[in-house]
Amino acid sequence: MDWFKKYQDGRSYQDFLTEFGTADQITGWNNYRAQIRLSDSQSELLKSFNRQIHVLCMAGVWCGDCVQQCPIFDVFEETASTIHVRYVDRDENAELKEALTICGGARVPQVVFFNEDGEVLGRNGDRTLSRYRAMAASQIGAACPTGILGDSGDPVLSGVVQDWLNEFERMHWICRLSPRLRQKHND
């Protein structure tokens, strides 16, 4: 499979939402995006990236996990001129859906990172460690999940943002420290 071609055929954040989302789904994504706040140090870190990172995100507008994570990628892309994210719908891409299974399932969102030359750097997806820790705390042991989030928003959001920022930073360092790319950029 030509992974980078899938990226190139992907859609921008807004085009993805417009093409695949209903008005209510788009409102939900926009409402969640409005909750995302980067600290000054997180913004500075993203702005310091000096290598191009291309990100293919397989998602579904209908997916709750996607609503809670894909807007983060859009904020990162808006903050860092070196980050370029394209979205593809899971159900419109059977080959990609099959290739990107996790634990035997077609889970979303999933991302594939590429360097400036379209070479795969890595992949990640489903839920972040912060989200899984919160789920485990409410579903395993004495805790009992209520299913009620309340007016406080998503209490795990800042941890999820940091988890994803760590992964994007990791991809940046893979590119930044690549001997081939350092030679190419003479740095």
Q: Is the pLDDT of residue 146 over 80?
A: no
Q: What is the pLDDT of residue 163?
A: 96
* pTM, rounded to two decimals: 0.91
Residue 111 pairs in a beta bridge with 57, 124
Name all domains of the chain by residue range, CATH numbers in brackets.
Answer: 3-185 (3.40.30.10)
Q: What is the pLDDT of residue 33?
A: 96
Are the C-beta atoms of 3 and 112 separated by less than 8 Å?
Answer: yes
Separation CA 108–CA 185 (nearest Å): 35
Q: What is the pLDDT of residues 83-138, one digit of tens each?
A: 999 999 999 999 999 999 999 999 999 999 999 999 999 999 999 999 999 988 88
Q: Is the dihedral of CA 84, 90, 92, 95 positive or negative?
A: positive
List the structure tokens of 174. 């893979």
Q: What is the pLDDT of residues 55-82, one digit of tens each?
A: 999 999 999 999 999 999 999 999 999 9
Confidence of residue 148 (pLDDT cuts 50, 70, 90): very low
Q: What is the pLDDT of residues 5-54, one digit of tens each?
A: 999 999 999 999 999 999 999 999 999 999 999 999 999 999 999 999 99
